[in-house]
Structure 1
Amino acid sequence: MKKLYILFILIFLMLVPNNIHARSLDDNEKVYITITIAGDDSLPPFEYVDGKGIYKGFNIDIMRAISIEEGIEIEIIPMPWYKAIDALNNGEIDAIQGMKYSKTRDINYDFSMPYIQTPNSIFVRNDNKYIHEINDLKDKRVAIQKNDISKYLLANRDIENLIEVNNQEEALIKLINKEIDAYVGNKLTGAYYIQKKGFEEYVKTVGEDLLVENYCVAVLDGNNEIIDIFNDGIKKIISNGTYDKIYKKWFGEYFYDNSKILKNILVALGVAFLLVVLITIFTIKWNRQLKERVEERTIELKRENILKEKILNSIFSYILVVDRDKKVLLMNDKAKRLIDNKKDFTYLNDTVLGKIIDNNDINEVTQRGIEIKNKEVVSSIDDISTYQYNLSPISIDNDNFGAVISIKDITEEKMLRERLMATDKLKTLGRLAATVAHEIKNPLTAIKAYVELMPEKIGSERFRENLLEDVPREIDRLDKFINDLLNYSRHRRGKKEELNIIEVVKDTLRFLSREIKKHDIEMVCDIHKDAKVLVSRDQLRHILMNLLLNAIDAVKVNSVPKIKVYSAVDGQYIKLIVEDNGKGIDEKTLKKVFEPYYTTKKEGVGLGLAITQQMVKKNNGEISVESKLGIGTKFIITLGLLKKGEILCIDS
């Protein structure tokens, strides 16, 4: 492989046009001059003095071939390498026949075109276990040939003791004698000495090839004339085949054992076949295990689905899942039985359940992702049955929402709830009969007293004034108590209609304007314009009336009384809030404000807020209370919103 690489370089150089400074001489122009060249006397097989004192080697034959082609005399002088460098530097010789090129050397020398490449290697003893590459030479004893290019390679590597020797044979002997740990030198020269001396069992090379550089003729910087001669000669011996003959003489040819190659190929194929078999076995086994796991998981999923289906079918509600277009995707058995799944249908509106649910509610869920909870509706089918439904958004794909629908028939439940409520009221009335009798008896006693005194004191002006003031008041008190009692115990079925909240609030405030002005109360109203709800007008007015009267009673003793009625929209709901700056309610009392017959007023019977709560619930709403002592009280009514608009502020 190395030979092919070298031949490639040399063929490339042959194709390069001659340098304009090159001295090209044909046979008629040959000039016989003498060039003095030095070479290493101990660098086989490149150049060395043999046992008979003959200077020979690859470089010697190359120089002689150039001498013949160029028609010049070349005097080749063998000497130790370091002396050859000194001789060139001092001008005692014209050139060195073989020197590795480097950028550092290029500063002081000029180089011919390369005629071979040579690598350096690290040589160690066979028992070495710790030196494997150049970085392992740190803190070791390392030998190099004097002025060899390896000196630049080992600079700044913290070598413990860098020993310079005259030639590689000397370094090899020192290595075997354990005077050094390694030496760095020309790979081919080292191999030559090891083979010649029979040191194969003592020495080896480690690591990668180092300093694989071009091998050239070197002269002092600026001596272009001699470089031109050698460049021309190198090209000629390459083109006429002389170079190839010299190379084969000293380095031979690479012969390949076809049987060994075939053996290596068969081994490689065997290994590859074995790997394929192992991979196939592993893949089959893995696929079998994967298949078993898939089957196990499939069974688990099937069991889970069966369980989920059983749970879904065991629910008492009608369960359906629809997409954005109200297409039915899933339903439980209860819903199927109601719909009669033998009929051909695709969309919710084609079923009886579609007549129960408001389309606007489904659109809110599927288009805006809003959840609707516990909405009660009376069926449009028979106007008797009452249903309660919940709608929850479900993501089908990306931003496409469907709806999970849960519908429950609460007709019987509602009737039972109302019966229980009525029964509970009667029981409460029975337990508090004494209180009722007392409340009725007090005004009757006062009226009776005035009637009995009339024959005697009818002529008294003061008596008549007291009579005209006290009797009507006691009658009003009795009338109010009886009305409250009837309202609480009676089952009212107020007709619901679409109302604008602000109109009802205005009417109520107008009715109470006399009481508000009488106590100099600051009244603030901040209600959403066009906030419409579906409620009973009379019941909503009654609710507001009770809350505002309670607020007036709470603030009328304040130096700066203030009541605020305002609204807040929360999604599909509107909150109607009545807030006062009265003395507030303590935590213990706050828990009982909606209990029937619980009151803190001297003249009250505790039915007002109980009736208010009942009316709010009848209108599918909720009422809650917040209060802090010394700050005030806030009643919050939450109703379903049909339409929301901008805020309109009214001050009374």
Structure 2
Amino acid sequence: MYLNHRQPLCQLLLLLAFLSPFASAQNLSPDQTVLIGGDYNYPPYEFLDDEGKPNGYNVELTLAIAEVMGMKVEFIFSDWAQVRESLKEGNIDALQGMVNSPERRETFDFSPPHAIIHQSIFARQGTPRTASLQQLKGKEVIVQKNGIMHDYLLQNDVGAQLFTVETHADALRQLAAGKHDYALVANLPGLYLGKELGLSNIIPVGKPFQAQHYGYAVLKGNEDLLAQFSEGLAILKNTGRQQLIYNKWLGPLQEKSLPWKQLGKLAAFVSALLLLILGGSIIWNRMLKRQVDKRTAELDMQQQQLIQADKMTSLGILVSGVAHEINNPTGLLLLNMPVIQEAWQDCEEILEQHYEQHGDFLLGGLAYSQMRNEIPVLMSDMHDGARRIKRTVNDLKDFSRQESEDIYEAFDLNEVVTTAVRLAENSIHNSTDNFSSNYSAKLPTIYGNAQRIEQVVINLILNACQALHERSKAIAVRTYLISETQQICLQISDEGCGIEARNLSRLLDPFFTTRREHGGTGLGLSVSSGIVQTHGGTLHFDSIPAQGTTVTMTLPINGKKT
């Protein structure tokens, strides 16, 4: 159950009185429902969706805590000033998201933070950057009523003229319409709402505040309820569920807001160096093959296959050794970076207090006022770069993997394709609103490795998803039988960007890709082609630029491993 901001406050209080006539909000029995307050327009943390239902990171986190703790919860959404006052008066039990501050701790108790909030100064394009609040003196500034920035500016008069609004969206709309000079709002909601509302003429021009802890809040003295939220949050963090919810709602926005990618470039350079070494090995082997072909023209196809097998064995040995040497330090980076990031967050508050009391100081040879914004970016880029190295190495290991020990047995292609579609469901959902599948009934079985064919199908589906630039474009999957040639076919068609004619013949070449700037290694189709050829089948591509691509995989019925 939930209430929205369109209901008058008197109706809200009457309903609360009806729900709990004999107990206050601070003394709930185990069977009672916990009333959770939230801001109806504070995306992506909490908001009412198009159907008027509570949604967002806070809502999903609260429902997960309620599940693990066996709690009953109901949501009451309204404007921030009203739900904060309702908590203060004891008419609701908790707020699921509130910035922790010394002044607020006089009235409320807070759980450990489940997110970090950054406040930004937004302005119309063309406005100079604003490094401190002192630069707001004499300016007209929009803030959310009773929000953390409203509290701060009332307690620390910087000489700005304040204009209060109910929501962050109201603040950004007024600013975009030419009213007032600045809007002081939370960074992620500001970026989210600017995109959703199409406010292309406003941008963040400064971040004058340190990171702020954001968590559950209860009226001071309600320790039992706060303990339940804190324990539930700890369980979700330890099981990794909280991180999954965080990544779903907040991860993409944070990645888009990172402005500095030097360490990412360093990771790309390491990856390129690895590819250069392996590419040199391939070139050397190809040169050797040409010399052998010139001197042994009488050799038949079997001899050529032996040469190719020897080449791939050499490459596999090289990849295995290099991969081991790279994966060890990369694993240390992936293991240690989250610990370093948490340590920085713990130190940040102490450093900020020192900065406020004593002024700027050197940290790592640079001014702390500069480093406090760049260190989180440095650590995040290092983590992203290590993950990219690991993905590239895994791709190379797949490319050189030998198939001799694979298990071959009869399997149903329809079942394999159905499983692959299910595994790729998230990518399909994020790419298109028009996905269709048509599986031919009673297909004969195929003899081979179902797991390796499933890998090929997933790769082809993901390629189709990446080719789409509009959700209205379609992807179609179908299976059918060619009786004349005793072959079973899988066809995947997309209405995406298509492939230039000059690139069609190179699609299956190792390391060839048109998506290198997006992290592509050019190994996916090469690996897939090798798997299909091992099963005695083929991959065929038809494409028209700007119209789409169709890939057809054919496999022999009850074929044997080649």
Q: TM-score normalized by structure 1?
A: 0.34
More strand by share: 1
Structure whose CA Rg is larger: 1
Higher relative contact order (CA 8 A, sep 6+): 2
